[in-house]
Amino acid sequence: MDLSFDLAKALDRTLTDAARRAGLTEAGFAPEVRPADPVHGDFQANGVLAYAKRQRQNPRALAEALVSQLDELAPLFGLAIAGPGFINFRLKPAALLAWLAAHSNREALAAGAAAAEQGHTVVVDYSSPNTAKQMHVGHLRSAVIGEAICRLLAFSGAKVVRDNHVGDWGTQFGKLIWAYKRQLDSAALARDPLEEFERLYKAGNSAAEADPTVLKEAQQELVKLQARDPENLGIWSRINEVSLFAFQEIYDQLGIRFDVTLGESFYNDKLEPVYRGLADSGLAEESQGALVVFHPEHPRFKTQPFIIRKSDGAANYATTDLATILYRTGPLHATDVLYVVDKRQSDHFEQLFLTARKWFEKMGGPLPRLRHLDFGTVLGENGKPLKTRSGENIRLKDLLAEAVERSYQLVSGKNPGLPEAERRAIARTVGVGSVQYADLSQNRSSDYVFSWHKMISLEGNTAAYLLYAVARIHSIFRKLDLRPGEAPGETGATAFETPAELALARKLVRFPDALAAATGTLRPHFLCTYLYELAGDFSTFYNADKVAVDEPAVRARRLLLCNRTLLLLETGLQLLGLRILTKM
Ligand code: ARG
């Protein structure tokens, strides 16, 4: 067996071959090699028990028959049979060294990881805010989780299409255009366009509430927009342009770059096939003037229909999303579509997917795999959705600015000797990274409590802790006058010996498992947990074993451990969307 990137998979294949030689495959022996609890070993195979049960054989004897076919593993692993037929594999120190030596840079890791998602074209629909409004804290999670997922998938070999499906077409534009024509404050627009649009929308809204003529006029503005009246179209497109420009400032801070921004309006001329397709296939029916799809087999959607055309003839969120599926399947060639959207929209997506599945079945075309990657709410310390003290939504812009400011305090306290400009630059990385990491380190499906105090801290599972670990390894190399990128001083390394060396090396070779767990489940927190543990093991190692010792072979292997820890921490953090630091 070779020491390829994904050792669990390689062991799996080796075991399948051994089973064939032992005459077990015909009857369906399926080895399942998984990362093991460190007390047992590095990996564990647990397909034997189930197979033995089916065959009414003694599992232990079966395991022994298998192990007798595994001589080729002897130079790499210590093998042991445990309990009723588990096979445990423990990497030998020389094999640990060989794996780490072979995976010495980002390219080697990427080459190893790229097999997992090869051949997939994944459209990721994330961030997707509505235009003419500020992005607030509710928009944080989709952007942060979506970007991490894009990076993880791309690293694992998928072709990723980042699509910002902005809400740029909706009934709000009637009131907004009404107010824009009458009350636009150009100075305010130049200062903060989204703020001005928000003010205009509110002004239009309250005017329409107070006065039925205004309401009528606003409705007419909307009708004119929908009929492509040049003036209204001009205002509308200006509002969207300016909004996207303002969003980009946030995206720049978060390191996000979309491949396409195909908002709802992009589908305006692509809705007919949806009505026709669903009506012709018999899935949609008229109900009280609207065109709707019922799902009789579903407990709720048998009475609560999916409305695809409102009774006034207008399209809605569902219509656009169906047209979007057609576009992503056709021109974008998606094999997978991921919707990174708040879990409060899960009914919408369940209905959307059900409808699309039935529709594509009737059309006989392959439907991409559609998944709603839901996430919970960001809560304040009071357990309610996070708001300002006066009960307003917190702007994302302000939240990030506060994170940077608080990080500046942290950095200045830790390293007051650094020049101010450098501390400011470090604070930007730590601040934004802290907000991203606090979000990503939680299982995305749960709500989480936003706590400045916990997230901007050098202790615990935080960005600052991990960025500091990275900076510390850089400083080790700086002191030795070595440059880590070049993997210096590693030649002549001997196999690991001390308990701390071995524990760190064993953690390092687990990186592929953490990556596979995060990418396979589309839950970045698995990678966060791994990085946190890795940084902890590095710390233990660094406190226990001196790196710059005189014996060249010992020094070389310890430098190798420093180098690989740095490589994996940096790679991992960047896959999560964070920026890294060489000094802190
Ligand atoms: N603009 C929507 C909102 O703010 C989110 C869109 C999510 N994507 C989608 N294809 N429905 O709620």
Q: Is 319 in the pocket of ligand 1 (CB under 6 A)?
A: no
Average pLDDT of every residue of the chain? 95
Residues 286 and 368 reside in one and the same domain: yes
Quote the CA–CA distance of 106 and 484 in Å, as a whole number: 13
pLDDT band at 39; cut points 50, 70, 90: confident
Is the confidence at residue 525, as pLDDT, over 70? Answer: yes
Residue 46 pLDDT level (bands cut at 50, 70, 90): confident
Q: Of 254, 278, 310, which residue constitutes the final position of a domain?
A: 254
pLDDT of residue 26: 59
3-state secondary structure of 219: helix
| Dist. CA 207–CA 540, nearest whole Å | 65
Q: Is residue 112 part of a domain?
A: no
Q: For residue 141, report the distance from its CA to the centre of ligand 1, in Å.
A: 13
Two tokens at 149?
């997922």
Provide the pLDDT confidence category of residue 53 given band limits of 50, 70 and 90.
Answer: confident
Residues 180 and 299 in one domain: no
From the list 568, 577, 544, the residue with the least C-alpha distance to 432 is 577
Would residue 490 count as lying in a domain?
A: yes
Angstrom distance (rounded) from CA 399 to CA 395: 6
Same domain flag for 433 and 519:
yes
| Cβ-contact 495, 97 below 8 angstroms | yes
Question: What distance in angstroms lies between residue 373's CA and the mean position of ligand 1's atoms?
Answer: 12
The residue type of 19 is A
Q: What is the pLDDT of residue 155?
A: 98
Q: Does the beta carbon of 341 lie inside 6 Å of ligand 1?
A: yes
Residue 236: partners with Cβ closer than 8 Å, 6 or more residues away:
173, 177, 225
Percent of the chain residues topping a pLDDT of 90? 87
Asked if the structure places residue 382 within a domain, the reply is: no
Q: Is residue 351 part of a domain?
A: yes
Distance CA 305, CA 564 (A): 55
- Among 243, 339, 345, name the best residue to mutate to test ligand 1's pocket (greatest count of ligand atoms within 8 A of Cβ): 345
pLDDT, residue 52, reads 84
Residue 324 alpha carbon, nearest atom of ligand 1 = 10
Q: Distance from the CA of 351 to the center of ligand 1, in angstroms? A: 15
State the pLDDT at residue 19.
86
Tell me, yes or no, whether 455 and 490 share the same domain.
Answer: yes
Q: Which residues contact 371 (CB under 8 A, 6 or more apart)?
A: 336, 337, 338, 339, 522
Number of H helices, E strands in the chain: 22, 13
Q: Strand 43-45 to strand 290-293: parallel, antiparallel, or no bridges (unpaired)?
A: unpaired
Residue 37 has pLDDT above 90, yes or no: no
* Across 489-502, average pLDDT: 95
Which protein residue has the closest C-alpha to ligand 1 atom 3?
Answer: 129
Alpha carbon 352 to chain centroid, angstroms:
22
Contact 319, 348 (CB under 8 A): no
Give 163 Cα–ligand 1 centroid separation in angstroms.
11
By alpha-carbon position, which residue is closest to atom 6 of ligand 1? 128
CATH number at residue 51: 3.30.1360.70
CB 151 within 8 A of CB 575: yes
Q: Are 248 and 273 members of one domain?
A: no
Q: Which of 254, 279, 298 is the last residue of a domain?
A: 254
Q: Is 337 a pocket residue for ligand 1 (Cβ < 6 Å)?
A: no
- Alpha helices (runs of H) in 167-285, residue ranges in sequence order: 172-183, 186-191, 193-210, 212-226, 230-254, 272-280
Q: How far apart are CA 80 and CA 68, in angstroms?
A: 11
Residue 78 main-chain phi, psi, to 5 deg: -85, 130
- The answer to whether 122 touches 335, Cβ cutoff 8 Å, is yes
Q: Is the CB of 493 under 6 A from ligand 1?
A: no
Check pLDDT > 70 for residue 27.
no
What CATH number is attached to the domain comprising 364?
A: 3.40.50.620
In this prediction, residue 303 carries a pLDDT of: 96
Q: Is residue 56 part of a domain?
A: yes
Per-residue pLDDT reduced to its tens digit, 374-401: 999 999 999 999 998 888 999 999 999 9
Q: What is the average pLDDT across 172-180?
A: 95
Among residues 254, 280, 312, which one ends one of the domains? 254
Tell how far CA 451 is from the center of its chain: 21
pLDDT of residue 48: 85
Residue 104 lies in a domain: no
Strand order in the sheet with 284-287: 284-287, 290-293, 306-309
- Between CA 38 and CA 502 the distance in angstroms is 11
Residues 400 and 514 in one domain: yes
Residue 223 falls within a domain, yes or no? yes
Whether 442 and 530 share a structural domain: yes
**491 and 527 housed in the same domain:** yes
Does residue 501's CB lie within 6 angstroms of at least one atom of ligand 1?
no
Asked whether residue 282 falls in the same domain as residue 408, the answer is no
pLDDT value for 430: 98
User: What does residue 125 show for φ and ψ, rounded to 5 degrees?
Assistant: -95, 105
341 Cα: distance to centroid of ligand 1 (angstroms): 7
Say whether pLDDT at 123 is over 90. Answer: yes
The pLDDT of residue 20 is above 80: yes
- Shared-domain flag, residues 272 and 159: yes
Do both 546 and 429 map to the same domain? Answer: yes
Which pLDDT score, from 0 to 100, does residue 32 have?
A: 87
Nearest to 510 by CA among 541, 492, 539, 537: 537
Please tell me the distance from the alpha carbon of residue 553 to that of residue 557, in angstroms, as a whole number: 6
**295 and 152, same structural domain?**
yes
Which residues form the domain of 296?
121-163+266-373
**pLDDT, tens only, 342-365:** 999 999 999 999 999 999 999 998
CB of 130 closer than 6 angstroms to any ligand 1 atom: yes
Q: What is the CATH number of the domain that holds 528?
A: 1.10.730.10
Place of tokens 């960025």: 467
**427 lies in a domain?**
yes
Number of domains forming the structure of the chain: 4
